Structure 1
Amino acid sequence: MRFPWVALCSWEGNSVVCKRAMRGWLAAVALLWTLVLCRGLRRPMPHPHVPCYSAGDLHDGEAPAPLLSRSLRWDHYVPVQLVPQLERLQDSPGHRRHRRHKELACPALQLRTGLHSEPHERSISPWRYRIDEDEDRYPRKLAFAECLCSGCVDVKTGRETTSLNSVAIYQTMMVLRRKPCPRPAGPGLVTFEVDYIRVPVGCTCVLPRTRR
């Protein structure tokens, strides 16, 4: 009987050398391994485990209780603390009339009544608060500061001056974003992802930018 691989071998001394056969065998193994790797790369990667929630798990659209751990104390943030006060203020009839007649107007500084007013009212860069609402965010409602002046209030005259500029001061705040669950989760399920946003919390005076 004659084996096909014998033709590729030769005698050298007392041993048989099959150089060409060995190289061909290694090439075949390398090709097979490459095909296996390519097939594995084409296979879709499984989604990591993502907790999903139904509408019954969410109370009034809020985040589920397991996500509201002690480390996520949103009640320590001023933008969260001010929301109930702003809602009560918005419900008062006098406030609604005041907002209709006065929209983002730079106020004159009242030195006599300044001691009895809030810091955002007696600042030389005054601001007001509004409620920013986002249904896909938790906390859903946040108090955002809005500068009332483009310039700043002169402490001598009590009037706005353009020698200084009013700019917002921002605080970075962690929130949760509600998003649809990745497949193959059931329809209507949602998940929450951590996000960081910049919330305007006040205003201050700065020197105007000059062109060089």
Structure 2
Amino acid sequence: MMTNWKLFRWFTETSESEILEIGDEDWNPPIPESSFCNTEPVTDINSTTMQRSLCPWQWKLNHDENREPKIISEAHCLCRHSRGSSGSFCMPIKRQIAVLKRIRCNPTTGYYEYSRALQTITVGCHSVLPRSQKASSLTKLYRKTNIIEI
């Protein structure tokens, strides 16, 4: 029973972790873009979240037989540029989730053995302004006291 509690705590701790920021170079835009990307967002009272979104996405199932959970819903950005006239780009929002990876079957017990792991998935898409220059490394901003220079 204690093992279940440790596993539950680990899943809970990893689900409360921060959202990851990925660099522009880490993202490949969807090809080809949906015609939906060329339409203006609709904001009337009956509009859906997808119709109002500047950076719409669709859900796809990520399936892996050697992982628990075996199926994870993952967002995929439909557009490279934000809808509307902002001139912004659509970027994925990444998050790490706790999973169990199957490593082998124990020959004595006949049960599979699993190891804890973190998997990065896309949970949505958001609109970001383009950079006016290449961003500097964050490590250059930190001092020994972990204070960011601005």
- Cα-to-partner distance string for 1:54-74 (whole Å, 9 max, x where unaligned): xxxxxxxxxxxx85965447x
- The one-letter amino acid of 2:127's match is C
Q: Residue in 1 aligned with 2:124?
A: 202
Question: 1:138-153 residue pairs with structure 2 within 5 A?
Answer: 138-153=68-83
Q: Give the helix-richer structure, 1 or 2.
A: 1
Q: Give the strand-richer structure, 1 or 2.
A: 2
CA RMSD, Structure 1 to Structure 2 (Å): 3.2
Gaps of 5+ in 1: 1-65, 77-102, 156-160
With the length of structure 1 as denominator, give the TM-score of the two structures. 0.43
Higher relative contact order (CA 8 A, sep 6+): 2
Q: Residue in 2 aligned with 1:124?
A: 54
- Structure 1 SS opposite 2:50: helix
Does structure 1 residue 172 correspond to structure 2 residue 96?
Answer: yes
Gaps of 5+ in 2: 16-31, 135-150
Q: CA deviation at 1:106?
A: 4.5
Q: Residue in 1 aligned with 2:147?
A: none
With the length of structure 2 as denominator, give the TM-score of the two structures. 0.59
Q: CA deviation at 1:132?
A: 0.9
Q: Residue in 2 aligned with 1:109?
A: 40
Q: Which consecutive segments of 4 or more residues in structure 1 shift more than 3 A? A: 66-73, 185-189, 209-212
Does structure 1 residue 192 correspond to structure 2 residue 114?
Answer: yes
Aligned pairs, number: 111
- Please tell me whether the aligned partners of residues 177 and 195 of structure 1 are also in contact (alpha carbons under 8 angstroms): yes
Q: Percent identity?
A: 24
